[in-house]
Structure 1
Amino acid sequence: MKPVRVALGAFLVLIGVVWFLQGIDVLGGSVMSGVTLWAVIGPLVAVVGAVLAASGLRGGRHRPLDQD
């Protein structure tokens, strides 16, 4: 499950950065270009993605399996 978290988190970071750049009108050619809403939503999505990816990369304790 951890590789899925890392991949999904990285994807969200990438999408968030693209949305931010479109919102601040660095990446043009879209209806999202120059719209302040995307300049706000983009970083929020990128932060959520970074947290998700970090949780997938973080080494945690594994619970032992119940063995009877």
Structure 2
Amino acid sequence: MRYTFVYSATANASGRMQYHKIKPNQFKERITRTEFIEAFNTLEIVAMKPIQEKLSPVFQLEFYV
């Protein structure tokens, strides 16, 4: 699978959501919720990965563009 960026929405230890834009092997940049939503709604998603954690009550995911 070929992709350029990974966008992630994960919960930190306190349960607060954090959003990141990741360029594999180069950088991981924290982004705003608005930037994450805009990327989700406008970019061509080639794959999506749910992040399942039994101890976290929030929905977490990564998507690849």
Question: Shared fold by TM > 0.5?
Answer: no
Give the shorter-chain TM-score range.
under 0.3
**What is the TM-score when the length of structure 1 is the normalising length?**
0.25
Greater strand fraction, Structure 1 or Structure 2? 2
